[in-house]
Amino acid sequence: MLKTAVHILVVLLVTTPVVAQQVTGRVLDAVNNEPLVGANLSDSTRTKGTTTDDLGHFSWDIAANGSTIYVNHLGYQELKITVTGDKRSLRILMPATAHQLPQMIVSASNTSSKLLEIPYSVSVISRNEIERDNGTNIADPINRIPGLYMHSGTLNTNRITVRGIGSRSLFSTTKIRAYINEIPLTTGDGETTVEDIDLSLVERVEVLKGPASSIYGAGLGGTVNLKALKAPYNATDISSELTFGSYGLFRSVNGFEHSTDAVNLRVNYSTINQDSYRENNEYDRKTINVLNQIYPGENTTVTFWGSWINLLAFIPSSLDSAAFAENPRQAAFTWGQTMGFEDYNKGLAGANLSTSFSNQWELSASLFGSLRDSYELRPFNILEEETGSVGSRLKFTFNPEIKTGNLVWTFGGEYFNENYQWQTLENQDREPGMLLSDNDERRWYYNAFTEVSWTLPKGTIFSAGLNLNNTQYRYRDLMTDNGDQSGNYSFDTQWSPRLAVLHNFSDRMAVYGQLSHGFSPPTLAETLTPDGVINPDIQPETGYNLEFGTRGQFKGTRLNYDVSIYSMYIENLLVARRVGDDQFVGVNAGKTRHRGIDLSLSYDVLAESVKSDLHAWLTYGYADYFFKEFIDLDNDYSGNELTGTPRHKLNWGLDFTHDTGLYGNLTFLYVSSMPMRDDNTAFSEAYALMNIKMGYQKQLSRLLGVKVFAAVNNIWDESYASMISVNAASFGGSLPRYYYPGLPRNYYGGFSVNVRIR
């Protein structure tokens, strides 16, 4: 009897089907929340599975408990997910691989597409590329992008140029727009401080070169989009990383991360301290950052982002040629004597709602604001500033059903309102003295935009866009002892069209061409005459960009390429003419021509079957930029090379990883000489830098991961200028102070610990 019962039980166990669990969900790009079409999901045997549809959805019957799913998509890191009995709907966020691939989804123009389907020049800096360096400054990864050059005098004095645009700015980045998670980092008068954002917060940087975006205001230089780092999928982690280095470098990053299918939360606190190489160059920055994404529905994401930055940075300023050669560690005499510094607090915050309220309509709505309170001690006076801004962005995307191909229509607008108050006071032995000026400035603009992209069945994409911008300033002189200089200024409404076409010859090769218009308004300071009166004749810089390019992957190889040829023609060139130690006047003085070639190559040296990965890459930018017509007062600079931009910039490098946890990279940068004066009578010296970094990263257990690393920068101990002050003036017979010395050979190392709570 017992034997018979056992036989019956065995038969039932064998013949009864395994209880199945219906699991549904979406697979999305971790940065942009865009659906990944054709992502592969498989079980532990890699023989059974499913793929995602055109909206990233999947549905699959799997075993009820303890089932393992592997998720793969070309261009993204493989995820291993354990599905338990309480899981019914998954929201799987996939991080991109370290290297750019044509299949990577990017949203640089706010319309997410595969890199292979974007008909303009865009470059991507991945998280792995950011981690090649010590995390203190974005200059190193920016300078690996062809067509871009970032002058970096100190950690708080930087200037980004894109294809020569912004190269003649004095001490900061202008004519380039920047955003982090839809929050503008650009002020109302066009100044951008990307270096304020701690790199521990950044997952990816997407850079549009030139006026390629109707969506973001058609800036002449382009747009830099920073995407905040998110928590890893379905985990709760606590982490800490410490970095120590030459010249008193100390950096710490401490974070908490929590992610489920309903929420993604990341909080971190970071500090950077450095005594620095030069005199009067101490630097201390603290940052608190919170990113929280909530997913109330399958097609809805609500994002909250906020950051608070406290900075105290002393200012060594630039050196003349004699001081640079004799003792580059010294500060400029007047700044060193005064012990000049800047001290400010800055807050950034924003919220975004993204939702698909039908199969054809999507909405993205953002609100954002910022605060800044600054005190700057300078040799000639003391500057006190307070800035507050608010704004909003609204974007609709319509994807109608049409008989031929796929049509996507995007339209919306952005409004920005900023109030800037500043006073200058006498510097009396480093203490505030008599009030010298008292000013209030309101800046506001609006952008209305529309963009249409039509993809035909055979791989041709037509794209057209239009941006409308209106910018206004209101200036109030609150100190009227010498007459009231108050006034209002508004520019003519700017219409910036863009036309582009791209053809995919295969799933690994595309060719594109575009014609686009852009503009850059002057700052309010540039609209003022030497007497402080608004000059009604000053106009924005405007220009057209013609560009042809191709990107893809050579058939049968692991070699990716991206090449573009461009020609930009700029009119109403804005010139900051120095009329005093701290006085500059803006004038429209001429026209420039910007012609160049951008080249990027990357190659996976080792086959995928081996346990090691060796990745080689190279970027090169050729820049033929010159003054087409430039007459400033009695000086004719027509035909001269454009100031502050190198003609040649070459990068190459190697990235190595091994399954044992070892990793490393070798990077090389060459920058050719560049003119420092409009008359081309003075040029900087060319320089070359070699850096190396090695490390070990290992997940010691399911709950504990560690990383240690060490690096040497400027291996050859090159003496060079990391920033040039263009058209530096000389006073009292002194030499012009052009040079910000770069760091000599320097070292850093550190370690991190990651503890997984869940």
CATH number at residue 88: 2.60.40.1120
Task: State the pLDDT confidence band at 187, using cuts at 50, 70 and 90.
Answer: confident
DSSP run (H or E) holding 595: strand 590-604
Burial class (CB in 10 A: 0-12, 13-18, 19+), 712: middle
Does position 188 have pLDDT exceeding 90, yes or no?
no
8 Å CB contact between 616 and 642: no
For residues 372-400, give the mean pLDDT: 94
Calculate mean pLDDT across residues 602-613. 78
What CATH number corresponds to the domain at position 483?
2.40.170.20
Burial 403-426, CB ≥16 within 10 A → b, else e: eeeeebebbbebebbbbbbbbbbe
Q: What integer pLDDT is reported at residue 17 of this predicted model?
A: 44
CA torsion sign for 524, 527, 530, 534 is: negative
Residue 117 lies in a domain: no
Residue 2 clears pLDDT 60, i.e. is over it: no
The whole model's pTM is what?
0.90
Range in 67-76, 78-87, 407-416, 584-593 with the lowest mean pLDDT: 78-87
pLDDT of residue 112: 67
Confidence at residue 234, expressed as pLDDT on a 0 to 100 scale: 85
Identify the weakest region by mean pLDDT among 97-106, 236-245, 633-642, 717-726: 97-106
Beta strand segments in 3-156, E: 20-29, 40-42, 49-51, 57-63, 67-72, 79-83, 89-94, 105-106, 113-114, 122-125, 148-154
> Structural domain of residue 575, as residue ranges?
224-719+734-756
Does any domain span residue 137?
A: no
For residue 326, pLDDT beyond 90 = yes
Q: What is the pLDDT, as a whole number, of residue 99? A: 65
Lowest mean pLDDT among 67-81, 678-692, 717-731: 67-81
Q: Are residues 229 and 89 in the same domain?
A: no
DSSP state of 685: P
Residue 367: predicted pLDDT: 95
| Domain end position, chosen among 94, 125, 159 | 94
Confidence grade of residue 507 (pLDDT, cut at 50, 70, 90): confident
Inside any domain, residue 337:
yes
pLDDT at 752: 96
User: Could you tell me if residue 163 is left (phi over 0), alpha (psi between -120 and 50 degrees) or otherwise beta?
Assistant: left
Alpha helices in 471-573 (DSSP H): none
Residue 313 placed within a domain: yes
Of residues 377, 378, 301, 375, the one with CA closest to residue 343: 375
Residues 438-452 have pLDDT tens digits of 989 898 888 899 999
% of the chain beyond a pLDDT of 90 = 51
Report if residue 130 sits inside a domain.
no
Residue type for position 754: N
pLDDT digits (tens, 9 = 90+) for 140-173: 999 999 999 999 999 989 999 999 998 888 778 8
Domain count, the chain: 2
More confident residue, 533 or 82: 82
Read off the pLDDT of residues 53-107 as tens digits, 9 standing for 90 and up: 877 888 877 664 457 788 888 777 778 877 766 556 788 888 777 665 666 777 7
Q: Is the pLDDT of residue 19 over 50?
A: no
Asked which of 94, 125, 160 is the last residue of a domain, the reply is 94
d(CA 212, CA 54): 27
CB 688 within 8 A of CB 668: yes
Higher pLDDT, 718 or 82: 718
> For the chain, what is the radius of gyration of the CA atoms?
27
User: Is residue 518 domain-resident?
Assistant: yes
- Taking a C-beta distance cutoff of 8 angstroms, is the pair 539, 575 a contact? no
Structural domain contains residue 327: yes
pLDDT of 74 reads 75
Last-in-domain residue among 77, 94, 111:
94
In this prediction, residue 18 carries a pLDDT of 43
Which tops the pLDDT comparison, 672 or 75? 672
Domain annotation covers residue 151: no
Residue 20 has pLDDT above 60, yes or no: no
Name the residue among 225, 166, 155 with its Cα closest to residue 190: 166
In this prediction, residue 346 carries a pLDDT of 96
Would you state the pLDDT for residue 369?
94
Average pLDDT value for residue range 566-577: 82
